Structure 1
Amino acid sequence: MEIPLLDAEDYASVHRATQLLSTRYLHVLTLNARMEAWAEFVAEVEEGVETVWAWEFDNDIVDRDWLHDAWPILTERVRRHRQPELDALDVRFRAATAPIKPFGMSQSEVAGQTRWWHFRYPLLVTGDPTEQLPPTWFPPPIHIE
Structure 2
Amino acid sequence: MNPESNAAKVGERLHRDGWRKAFTVEEMVERWARLIDKVERGYGTAVADYTNELYCRNWLHEAWPLLDEHTVLRWTARIQVLDRRFVVATVEDDGAALGRFHRIPASPALWWWRRHPRVLVGEFGDALLPFG
Q: Name the TM tier (shorter chain).
A: 0.7 to 0.9
Question: How many residues matched?
Answer: 122
> Equivalents in 1 of 2:29, 2:41: separation in Å?
19
Q: Which has the larger radius of gyration?
A: 1
- Structure 2, unmatched stretches of 5+, are 97-106
Counterpart pick for 2:76 among 67, 71, 83: 83
Determine which structure has the larger strand proportion and give its number.
1
Note if contact 1:55-1:134 (Cα within 8 Å) is conserved in structure 2: no
Residue pairs, 1:1-145, within 5 angstroms:
8-23=1-16, 24-50=18-44, 52-102=45-95, 113-127=108-122, 131-133=126-128, 138=131, 140=132
Note if contact 1:16-1:73 (Cα within 8 Å) is conserved in structure 2: no
Distance 1:134 1:101, change over 3 A: farther
* TM-score relative to the length of structure 1: 0.74
Matched residues, percent identical?
A: 26
* TM-score relative to the length of structure 2: 0.81
Distance 1:78 1:102, change over 3 A: closer
After TM superposition, give the deviation of residue 29 of structure 1 in Å: 1.9
- Structure 1, unmatched stretches of 5+, are 1-7, 104-111, 141-145
